Amino acid sequence: MRIAIFLAHPREDSFCRALADAYQDGAASAGAEVKLFWIDGFEFDPILHESSPRDQPLEPALREAQRLFSWADHLVFVFPTWWVTMPALLKGFFDRALVPGYAFYVDERSPSGYRPLLAQRSARLITTMDTPDWIYRWIYGRPGELAISRGILGFCGIKPVRTERVCRVKHLSGPQRHEVLRRLGQLGERDASKPKSKTLPWVRAMRLPFQGMTICSYGLGVAAAIQFSGASPAWPTLFAGFLALGFIAIASVFLNEVHDLTTDQRNLNAGPFTGGSRVLVNRELFPAQLQQAARRLLAAAPILLPAALHTVMLLGGLGHFAVTGGNCRRMDLLLFAALTHILWFTLGPLLLILNT
């Protein structure tokens, strides 16, 4: 993992510097490649003088900061909280370094009018303050923390952003400060050792909670067939049927994610039941990956279906075969209802897939 630490404290011998060094040592001990950027040690104008940030030339220090942003997998910002927010120089650093065209771009099709360009990165805020934690959190409402995590980094696509607060600093004794430094070293080691999950975005893209309709319909048909025929289930056939239907359903969900990407990006009220899985919107996965996965799933499904003719019959309305092994002696209205349910939720998406 590549970690860039941005230190925003004017004094080189500050407690913030000690925290940054402790975090850096812990991350390096876990095998991470770590670079430290002391914002106050570089010369740049934190004040925006032009009407647009793009019109003001970047100093070498800011270009180096942009290179670190692009290079890093994980960004760490160590700063004191003054007047319940970030130091002025850190705010000026964000104003000058995270300019349009680098950190985000204008997109009139988006409801906000902008698109992030720094996704696929996480961040950690480490801040010191004399204020008790409960006052900063519940009375003041964490203004500085939220401004950076949501208004700045989140706006540019950097997420998740986690925070480590060191409160009541002026009241910490020597042993307590050593304990804080030890904890920060462990935090750096833990952050560096935490692999970026490659599985979780795929699991979210499958939308598994919504696959229950097909599974329940298939299971209902199976239960009805067992009940009214008295036959013993052919378990390999049943498993092949579940697997084939699952492949088709997941492939349809993947292609639906790709098809709905534009509208999902416009959706400002995304939730569990609207806006898709957000893996494409958040750039955790890309459309080509989901399309390729869908093609593979659809290629595998026909291999499973002929392996059990009874499962093929299921899609045609004779799911009773999937249980009885072909000895269809009785069909019941309940079974037909279950199979109609399957056709309603499976055949439509299947036709959509074939036409995509």
Query: pLDDT tens-digit profile of 91-101?
Result: 999 999 999 99
Same fold, 2-195 and 201-354: no
User: pLDDT at residue 69 above 90?
Assistant: yes
pLDDT bracket for residue 304 (50, 70, 90): low
Q: Is the peptide bond before 116 cis (omega within 30 degrees of 0)?
A: no
Cross-sheet strand order for the sheet of 2-7: 33-38, 2-7, 74-80, 122-128, 161-166
**Residue 273 identity:** F
CATH of domain 2-195: 3.40.50.360
Q: At what angle do helices 287-307 and 309-316 cross, to 10 degrees?
A: 110
Indicate the helix (H) or strand (E) that contains 116.
strand 114-116
Q: Identify the residue with better confidence: 284 or 233.
A: 284
Contact predicate 61/112, CB 8 Å = no
**Residue 118 identity:** L
For 32: left if phi > 0, alpha if psi spans -120 to 50, otherwise beta; the answer is beta
pLDDT tens string 310-351: 444 444 344 444 444 444 444 444 454 455 445 545 554 444
Q: Which of 144, 147, 117, 110 is nearest to 129 (CA)?
A: 144
Strand, coil or helix: what is 121? coil
- Alpha-carbon distance of 146 to 76, in angstroms, equals 15
Contact predicate 85/127, CB 8 Å = no
Query: Which two structure tokens, joined as six digits, stand for 90?
Result: 């850190």
Domain ranges in the chain?
2-195, 201-354
pLDDT tens string 150-179: 999 999 989 889 999 999 999 999 999 999
Give me the pLDDT at residue 134, please: 94
Q: Is the four-CA dihedral 165, 166, 168, 170 of positive or negative sign?
A: negative
User: pTM, whole model, 2 decimals?
Assistant: 0.61
Q: What is the largest CA-CA distance in the chain?
A: 86
Beta strands 2-7 and 33-38, pairing class: parallel
Q: Which of 100, 90, 85, 79 is nearest to 44 (CA)?
A: 90
Out of 58-72, 111-125, 275-289, 338-352, give the one with best mean pLDDT. 58-72
Q: Identify the residue with better confidence: 252 or 147.
A: 147
Q: Is the four-CA dihedral 240, 341, 253, 279 of positive or negative sign?
A: negative
Q: Identify the residue with better confidence: 51 or 83.
A: 83
- Alpha-carbon distance of 191 to 17, in angstroms, equals 19
Give me the pLDDT at residue 356, please: 45
Q: Which of 152, 174, 169, 170 is nearest to 161 (CA)?
A: 152
Q: Identify the residue with better confidence: 271 or 292.
A: 292
Give me the pLDDT at residue 221, please: 66
pLDDT bracket for residue 271 (50, 70, 90): low
pLDDT bracket for residue 234 (50, 70, 90): low
Give me the pLDDT at residue 337, please: 45
Domain made up of 201-354: CATH architecture? Orthogonal Bundle (1.10)
Q: Which of 95, 117, 93 is nearest to 105 (CA)?
A: 117
175: exposed, middle or buried (Cβ count in 10 Å: 0-12, 13-18, 19+)? exposed
Listed range (99-103, 104-108, 128-132, 346-350) with the worst mean pLDDT: 346-350
User: pLDDT at residue 1 above 70?
Assistant: yes
